[in-house]
């Protein structure tokens, strides 16, 4: 697909998929620069103790040589190894920590197994040579030469400005000459560090723009991805309609478990459920017009008492939502109706029990 057609920004799904494939915006220069900064800082700190440390080391070697301890099993090898490690290990640790931290700060921790899969095309010498002598390879080479040219100019300027001072100290003792050279190197090193930090920022911006251009999508790709992730709009519409129907059906089904239904009697119907363990009666279903008629029909099918109270029905419908308990100001009105319902149910149970006892004793029951 032509790049000119890809005018849309990458969707979150596209970015997630690219991240799973290891495509994270990271500038290699950032890690290298921060490692260099850490190395320069450690050298600057450690060089303040450079001459005394090595003076002690060589004094110990001379004393060991005078005592005759220099040999294959002597302490000289252990001393040398410890002195080298004392200088190398802190520098390497700081450089490694800063390099890893810079990499994590750019793209975070990302584990992409697909990026670890072997790609034998990368091992082809022909492909590597083609990349080296391509316009992209030439651009990367020129891009890496820019900061080094700037550092070279800084070094040349430092030598030019301190040339007379170097000429004067060249005839003096070695300590004075080394101090002057060290100051020149320190100034050049920190200027070079600032140049590399600025260049790392520019390289990150260029890398980010290149990654964003690769992730751009066309209108067709966005529509196709939306269709794959969200589904067909017609199918989604059917699903939403079914969900709405289920949401309406659940309160209607709950009307079958109600204790009573309060109506006005035609436009409103509110189904209430109450048990002795409950703090207050609860609205399990409510409806208006057609839904009210269906609630009353379900209540009749399940022998749920239907009580007419216009004011109470309107109040319950407008104030209480399904699943909520009735407010305290409606306790008395609901309680009066519940007393009537419970009394009628108790009388009905007593009649049923008397009828059952008469049938069990063999008495003839008047069919009227």
Which residue ranges make up each domain of the chain? 10-108+130-227, 245-360
What are the residues whose beta carbons fall under 8 Å from the beta carbon of 229, sequence distance 6 or more? 13
User: CATH class for domain 245-360?
Assistant: alpha beta
pLDDT tier for residue 128 given thresholds of 50, 70 and 90: low
Closest alpha carbon to 286 in 273, 305, 277: 273
Asked if the model's pLDDT at residue 235 lies above 70, the reply is no
Average pLDDT over residues 261-275: 87
Confidence at residue 237, expressed as pLDDT on a 0 to 100 scale = 64
239 versus 147: which is more confidently predicted?
147
Query: What's the token pair of residue 189?
Result: 């090193």
Asked if the model's pLDDT at residue 342 lies above 60, the reply is yes
Of 140-144, 254-258, 284-288, the one with minimum mean pLDDT is: 140-144
- Contact at 8 Å (CB) between 184 and 162? yes
Average pLDDT over residues 288-313: 87
Q: How is residue 217 annotated by DSSP?
A: B
Confidence at residue 368, expressed as pLDDT on a 0 to 100 scale = 43
Average pLDDT over residues 270-290: 86
For 69, phi then psi, to 5°, come to: -90, 0
Q: Name the helix (H) or strand (E) containing 306.
A: strand 306-308
Residue recorded with tokens 């520098």: 91
Spatial distance between the Cα atoms of 28 and 366, rounded to a whole number of angstroms: 102
Q: How is residue 5 annotated by DSSP?
A: G
State the alpha helices, DSSP H only, in the chain. 12-20, 28-46, 50-67, 76-107, 125-132, 135-161, 163-169, 174-215, 219-230, 233-254, 290-301, 310-319, 331-361
Asked if the model's pLDDT at residue 364 lies above 50, the reply is no
Query: What's the token pair of residue 161?
Result: 């400005």
Residue recorded with tokens 């316009």: 135
CA distance to 1, 10, 221, 222, per residue, from 7 (Å) = 12, 9, 11, 11
Average pLDDT over residues 17-44: 76
pLDDT digits (tens, 9 = 90+) for 51-83: 677 777 777 777 777 766 566 565 677 777 777
Output the pTM of the full model.
Answer: 0.43
Average pLDDT for the chain: 76
66 versus 256: which is more confidently predicted?
256
- Contact at 8 Å (CB) between 6 and 218? yes
Confidence at residue 168, expressed as pLDDT on a 0 to 100 scale = 73
Closest alpha carbon to 185 in 159, 149, 146: 159
Closest alpha carbon to 199 in 137, 158, 151: 151
Closest alpha carbon to 287 in 308, 316, 244: 316
Query: What's the token pair of residue 178?
Result: 């080394």
Residue 2: helix, strand or coil by DSSP?
coil
Spatial distance between the Cα atoms of 29 and 200, rounded to a whole number of angstroms: 5
Confidence at residue 22, expressed as pLDDT on a 0 to 100 scale = 66
């Amino acid at each position: 697909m032509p790049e000119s057609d890809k005018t849309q920004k990458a969707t979150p799904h596209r970015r997630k998929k690219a991240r799973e494939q290891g495509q994270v915006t990271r500038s290699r220069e950032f890690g290298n620069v921060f490692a260099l900064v850490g190395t320069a800082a450690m050298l600057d700190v450690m060089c303040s103790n450079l001459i005394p440390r090595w003076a002690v080391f060589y004094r110990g070697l001379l004393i060991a040589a005078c005592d005759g301890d220099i040999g294959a099993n002597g302490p000289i090898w252990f001393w040398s190894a410890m002195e080298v490690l004392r200088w190398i290990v802190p520098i390497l640790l700081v450089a490694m920590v800063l390099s890893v931290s810079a990499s994590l700060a750019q793209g975070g921790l990302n584990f992409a197994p697909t990026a670890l899969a072997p790609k034998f095309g990368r091992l082809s010498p022909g492909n590597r040579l083609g990349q080296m002598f391509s316009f992209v390879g030439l651009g990367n080479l020129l891009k890496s030469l820019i900061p080094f040219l700037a550092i070279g100019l800084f070094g040349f300027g430092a030598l030019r400005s301190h040339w007379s001072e170097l000429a004067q100290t060249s005839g003096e003792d070695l300590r004075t000459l080394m101090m002057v050279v060290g100051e020149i190197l320190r100034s050049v090193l920190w200027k070079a560090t600032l140049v590399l930090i600025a260049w790392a920022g520019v390289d990150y911006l260029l890398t980010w723009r290149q990654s964003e251009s690769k992730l751009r999508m066309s209108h067709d790709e966005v529509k196709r991805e939306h269709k794959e992730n969200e589904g067909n709009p017609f199918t989604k519409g059917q699903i939403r309609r079914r969900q709405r129907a289920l949401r309406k059906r659940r309160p209607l089904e709950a009307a079958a478990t109600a204790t009573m239904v309060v109506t006005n009697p035609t436009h409103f119907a509110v189904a209430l459920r109450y048990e002795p363990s409950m703090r207050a009666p609860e609205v399990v279903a409510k409806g208006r017009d057609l839904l009210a008629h269906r609630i009353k029909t379900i209540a009749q099918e399940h022998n749920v008492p239907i009580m007419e109270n216009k004011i109470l029905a309107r109040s319950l419908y407008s104030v209480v939502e399904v699943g909520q308990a009735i407010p305290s100001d409606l306790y008395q009105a609901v309680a009066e109706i519940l007393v009537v319902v419970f009394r009628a149910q108790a009388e009905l149970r007593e009649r049923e029990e008397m009828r059952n006892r008469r049938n069990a004793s063999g008495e003839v029951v008047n069919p009227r």
